[in-house]
Structure 1
């Protein structure tokens, strides 16, 4: 979603600085109230506001105008984004980051919120619905893209594994002995594992490809047969006992299996390249006055 990334960059750089800081300050501060001091000299809220408007105001207003045109065109064409579609996109993003925790950390590191991201996603999906009927993707384009990016469509070997993580070797040996004596792996994971993200699901890590985990864990896990238990494996996190539950062999890239993904990728690329042209054409149908831009 390169267009979405472009929007997010604008949002993060401009709106977070101008709107989040500026509007929140307008509620918290009175006119001319001091926001900082330099050698005793006051820097007022109005001075801050003026500086931010001078730097970011025109671009921010232009983005707001663009968003309003998108909304108006969506209303004309009876285009809307369902809550379920938005939720589906959020879930895809979470999966791409490796789970909800990593996704939330990404939001935090980018100084944004889920509500803010949802609004941006909604705008992107609206643009996508408006432009998609005007876009053509040929079989030749798809085949060319596949040939040029074949490695990205190949599937590496994967295994499905569970683990029990404990802090020391003594505890690891104790757990392994209980497993050797017929103990239930899932129950022992709930009892002993210090991995809070997996212990309640019996230590289940799902499927993962080689190179996903730390080297010591990776080497041990991919060396096991299905249903085989590892000896205690030491990593920087502690000691792991690993059980492999299933395997998926590596697969070469297959064009027919990749067509949906290729089409979606090319569609996003074409939306990004054609959005500006589409927007400029639509602007001619509206009376627009941006005094900040004119200034």
Structure 2
């Protein structure tokens, strides 16, 4: 349900469409027909050739880059664990709004979870390597904080859980049970269609204004702690919202924001320093390509 997607997520998933095309090609290449027009065949070999011409150089360059990073990581004894990959994947699932939404996005792009996790692993390996190389001083951090102080301020936030159902009749049925004192978390597990959080009792965590769709947000920010809303209609269905905590807006303090400041500076430097480091690293290897 959250409407944002951070740059790191976009970096990780940016290449999955091209990957999907090449997985498709490898699975179907051969003389059989990919399509026919009045009996005239377009063969899978012809499709393979066109896709290779259109995307081959890009995909090959990506694979070369990933291999160079892998070799450099071995030199420096840097590795990414499956646990780290799975944790990053779980973050993506949360950004997309749950398992169901992630599965739909992967299906739409023709990409399996295994391929996406491989892409995540490649990204995390490059990220780990560069964290050893990119230097960030205290002076840089303090300057960055002062120049971007407002962005580190904490806006008003609410912590909430919800029960999402498809129709108003079911929403009223659930609300009636809540009014009689039944447990919110138990009803979320039983009724909620939001697969991303139903098993956790509908927990959404803290969110600020602009993170949720307007109809949901307007109600959530007006509720008191432990208050439960009437059914709220949005594009996703009908929600019953329970606010469990609130945080007032707070002006940022440098000492409390240091980790966020450092991460933002790192991400900026990564975008500029990684390409130049990679080009220098590639000079250490004999790289030959044979695509015509």
Number of aligned pairs?
284
Matched, 1:20 2:23: yes
Deviation by residue 1:55-87 (Cα, 9 ceiling, x = unmatched): 222332222222222222222222211122222
2:129 paired residue number: 130
Matched, 1:77 2:76: yes
Question: How far did residue 24 of structure 1 move?
Answer: 0.4
Structure 2 gap segments, 5+ residues each: 1-5
Q: Is the alpha carbon distance of 1:267 and 1:44 closer, same or farther for their aligned partners in structure 2, counting shifts above 3 Å? A: same
TM-score, normalised to structure 2, is: 0.78
Native 8 Å contact 2:160 2:241 kept in 1: yes
Q: Is the alpha carbon distance of 1:244 and 1:144 closer, same or farther for their aligned partners in structure 2, counting shifts above 3 Å? A: same
| Partner of residue 186 from structure 1, selected from 166, 184, 188 | 184
2:290 paired residue number: 291
Native 8 Å contact 1:3 1:124 kept in 2: no
1:110-149 mapped onto 2 (5 Å cutoff): 110-149=109-148
Q: Is the alpha carbon distance of 1:38 and 1:148 closer, same or farther for their aligned partners in structure 2, counting shifts above 3 Å? A: farther
Matched, 1:9 2:14: yes
Structure 1 residue runs of 4+, over 6 Å off? none
2:47 paired residue number: 48
Q: Is the alpha carbon distance of 1:278 and 1:200 closer, same or farther for their aligned partners in structure 2, counting shifts above 3 Å? A: closer
Structure with greater Cα Rg: 1
RMSD: 3.5
1:1-295 mapped onto 2 (5 Å cutoff): 5=10, 8-13=13-18, 15-17=19-21, 19-26=22-29, 29=30, 32-163=31-162, 167-168=167-168, 172=172, 175-176=175-176, 183-186=181-184, 189=187, 193=191, 195=193, 197=195, 202=201, 204-230=203-229, 232-236=230-234, 242-292=241-291, 295=292
Native 8 Å contact 1:165 1:195 kept in 2: yes
Question: How far did residue 250 of structure 1 move?
Answer: 1.7
Q: Secondary structure at the match of 1:253?
A: coil
